[in-house]
Amino acid sequence: MLQFKIIPVTAFQQNCTLFWCDETMEAAVIDPGGDFALIESAINENNLKLTKVLLTHAHIDHAGATHKLASFYNVPIEGPHKEDQFWIDLIPEQKERFGFSDADFFKTDRWLNQNDTVIFGNIELEVYFCPGHTPGHVIFFHRASKLAQVGDVLFKGSIGRTDFPRGDHPTLIHSIRSNLFPLGDDVRFIPGHGPMSTFGEERQTNPYVADSVVN
């Protein structure tokens, strides 16, 4: 069974998420933006074996500690989609702009695409390509638990920004409506920032993507 712990990191309070299989205790960290010590502590407290680092996208508040974490645990980096390479290339510039002292350039070991899967322990996550916030954004979905980690695509009551380089508002709306909402109204999701919600709640009440707004 999938277990998870949300670890808010950096001044942006980004929801770095620790996923693990409670049968094998193998784990994956999604979006290690920073605060390496907090992530390491959560891994140790739950007696987990980290097996990979997963990225929804390459903005520094989501990817800043990727190199440090993957190097320390000697594990591969999977994600995001290859269209986010330019954001990875900009990490040194982002580091100076936002004061992320531990952030370093990294090379992903596996780009992710629509319909790919990610496996750790007995857990399989489905990958959905959801561009708009960034051109290479992906999300992770665990069907058995009806739980998704959606990065900065969708929030409780809001959606991701599209005013960054290569962001695109219509593309983001399409990603949410065509890739996220069809997964089911009862799916809970962990956003990149802020509280959890369900796709059903957002379909009813989100002022940007609710059925009453878009249809």
Task: Write the secondary structure of 141-184 as one string of H (helix), E (strand) and C (coil).
Answer: EECCCCEEEEECCEECCEECCCCCCCCCHHHHHHHHHHHHHHHC
Q: Name the band, by pLDDT with cuts 50, 70 and 90, for residue 102.
A: confident
> How do the domains of the chain map onto residue ranges?
2-214
Give the single-character DSSP code of 34: S
Q: What mean pLDDT is reported for the chain?
A: 96
Q: Which helix (H) or strand (E) holds 49?
A: strand 49-54
Instruction: Compute the half-sphere exposure of residue 155: CA atoms within 13 Å on the CB side of its CA.
Output: 14
* Rama region for 139: left / alpha / beta (φ>0; ψ in -120 to 50; rest): beta
Angle at 174 between CA 10 and CA 178, to 5 degrees: 100
Element of type H or E holding 209: none
Rounded to an integer, what distance in angstroms lies between the CA atom of residue 191 and that of residue 13? 11
- Categorize the per-residue pLDDT at 97 as very low, low, confident or very high, splitting at 50, 70 and 90: confident
Structural tokens at position 87: 């954001």
In this structure, the number of other CB atoms found within 10 A of the CB of residue 210 comes to 14
pLDDT of residue 215 exceeding 80, the answer is no
- Give the pLDDT of residue 143: 98
Token pair 């695109």: residue:
168
Average pLDDT of the segment spanning 149-170: 97
Are 49 and 74 in contact, with CB atoms under 8 Å apart? no
Element (H, E) at 42: helix 36-45
In single-letter form, the type of residue at position 91 comes to I
143 phi and psi angles, rounded to 5 deg? -65, -40
Amino acid identity, position 138: V
14 pLDDT exceeds 90?
yes
Q: Which two tokens stand for residue 85?
A: 């390479």
| pLDDT attached to residue 100 | 84
Confidence of residue 93 (pLDDT cuts 50, 70, 90): confident
Record the pTM.
0.97
Q: What is the mean pLDDT of residues 165-180?
A: 97
Residue 101: pLDDT band by 50, 70, 90 thresholds?
confident
Query: Going by C-beta distance under 8 Å and a sequence separation of 6 or more, which residues neighbour residue 177?
Result: 209, 214
> For position 55, what pLDDT does the model report?
98
SS3 96: helix
What's the pLDDT tens digit per position in 65-89?
A: 999 999 999 999 999 999 999 999 9
Fold designation for 2-214 = Metallo-beta-lactamase; Chain A (3.60.15)
Answer yes or no: are the C-beta atoms of 197 and 146 closer than 8 Å. Answer: no
For position 94, what pLDDT does the model report? 86
C-alpha closest to that of 196 among 1, 33, 6: 6
